[in-house]
Amino acid sequence: MNLAEGVQIVSFGLLAAMMLGAALGVVLLSNVVYSAFLLAGAFISAAGLYLLLNADFVAMAQVLVYVGAVNVLIIFAIMLVNKREDFTPIPQAWIRKTATAVVCAGLFALLSTMVLATPWAISTDATVPSGSMVVIGKHFFTDFLLPFELASVLLLMALIGAIVLARREFLPDLEEADLQQTMLTLPERPRELTPAGSNPGSHSK
Amino acid sequence: MFVLSGYEYLLGFTLVCSLVPILALTAAKLLRPSRRGPERRTTYESGMEPIGGAWIQFNIRYYMFALIFVIFDVETVFLYPWAVAFNQLGLLAFLEALVFIGILVIGLVYAWRKGALEWS
């Protein structure tokens, strides 16, 4: 084993460990904000794995779209809907937990048998010599030109739809008071002027 | 075959970058005086004093900024291969990319005219 292969294997191990840890954290942590940020960690690890597979465009798109956009949307959605509540424990929660565990274990077993049973055709030569990005760019402007331009129209539709849905005049009137309330209770207020020499940390709220 | 050819610098930078926070936090832990007090646990030492919890419901208008950001983020994904292969594509591809950008500029103008970019 030469140096390059060693580096590759070590990188794969680190990325896989990061991914497993982040994914477990997403599921197991009770604070949903931590879960959202750990999801970004899992996405970044997946991008690293794509890089190890020589798929640079997919890795770039993964970072840009999933970490940059999807995760931002998830965090914003958490900020919008999340109010801290005291949840009462469900009676006989162990039945649900057992059912979930059985379903998840079955899914895992199914997927692992599929992974082990599939005869993976591993190509030994690099079919895309250096940079799949250039090849993708050429395809975009020759035989995939129409989908490329249609993607722009699709994005335009998404943008206009988002604006139409999110504009104030389409919100029901009963939320007016709530919105006003939310704006007024942003959690900051100017610090009172304390006389010189007094301990600024002593006054409590 | 080393599949990571050309990514040696990325690997090096990643190693250096992951060392920076570890070194900074360790050095700070070694150097700083250890003091306890209510002031130390506040969010910003010299800024506004936070009141209430951070777990409030935020204004829905933040979400629209996020949505618009997502649209233009995806546009970047489409334009990136064009930028990389720009030298081999020629004038026609340039015009086609201008059409692509133009269609999205219509959306930007719409958002602007509708006041979606302003905090009213």
Q: CB burial class (10 A; 0-12, 13-18, 19+) of residue B25?
A: exposed
Domains contained in chain A, number: 2
Q: What are the residues facing A188 on neighbouring strands? A: B50
Q: What is the pLDDT of residue A202?
A: 42
Q: Where are the domains of chain B?
A: 70-120
Residue A99 domain-assigned (yes or no)? no
Query: What is the pLDDT confidence band of residue B1, given thresholds at 50, 70 and 90?
Result: very low
**Minimal Cβ distance to B84: which of A11, A133, A204:** A133
A18 assigned to some structural domain: yes
Using DSSP, state whether B50 is helix, strand or coil: strand
- Top residue of A79, A169, A205 to mutate, by most chain B CBs within 10 Å, is A79
Max CA distance (Å), chain B: 67
Q: Residue A158 is part of which domain span?
A: 133-183
**Nearest CA distance, A46 vs chain B (angstrom):** 15
In a domain, A114, yes or no: no
| DSSP-assigned letters across all residues of B61-110 | HHHHHHHHHHHHHHHHHHHHHHHHTGGGT-HHHHHHHHHHHHHHHHHHHH
The stretches in chain A having pLDDT less than 50 are 170, 174, 184-205
CATH code of residue A77: 1.20.120.1200
Residue A57: CA count within 13 A, CB half-sphere: 19
Q: Does A138 touch chain B (CB under 8 A)?
A: yes
Which comes out higher in pLDDT, residue B118 or B21? B21
The residue written with tokens 């009172």 in the block is A192
Mapping DSSP to helix (H, G, I), strand (E, B) and coil, where does residue B12 land?
helix
Range in B6-15, B35-44, B76-85 with the lowest mean pLDDT: B35-44
Give me the pLDDT at residue B115, please: 76
For A88, A151, B64, B115, the CA distances from A161, given in Å and listed in that order, are 38, 15, 11, 14
- What's the gap in Å between the CA of B85 and the closest CA on chain A? 5
Residue B57 has its nearest CB partner, among A69, A80, A148, at A80
Choose among B51, B63, B89: nearest Cβ to A76: B63
Q: Is residue A89 part of a domain?
A: no
Taking CA atoms, what residue in A is nearest to B106?
A156
- Chain A CB contacts of B48 under 8 Å are 188-191
Q: What is the pLDDT of residues A17-50, one digit of tens each?
A: 999 999 999 989 888 889 999 999 999 999 999 9
Q: Is residue A57 part of a domain?
A: yes
Convert A174-191 to b/e letters by CB count within 10 Å (16 or more is b).
Answer: eeeeeeeebeeeeeeeee
A75 shares a domain with A12 = yes
Domain membership of residue A71 (yes or no) is: yes
Segment B32-70, tens digit of pLDDT: 887 777 766 766 666 777 677 667 777 777 777 888 888
ipTM above 0.85, yes or no: no
Strand (E) or helix (H) holding A157:
helix A145-166
**Residues A73 and B70: beta-carbon distance below 8 Å:** yes
Please report whether residue A196 resides in a domain: no
Residue A81 sits at the chain B interface (C-beta within 8 Å): yes
A93 belongs to a structural domain: no
Q: Look at residue B16 and tell me whether its pLDDT is greater than 70.
A: yes
Tell me whether A57 touches chain B (CB under 8 Å): yes
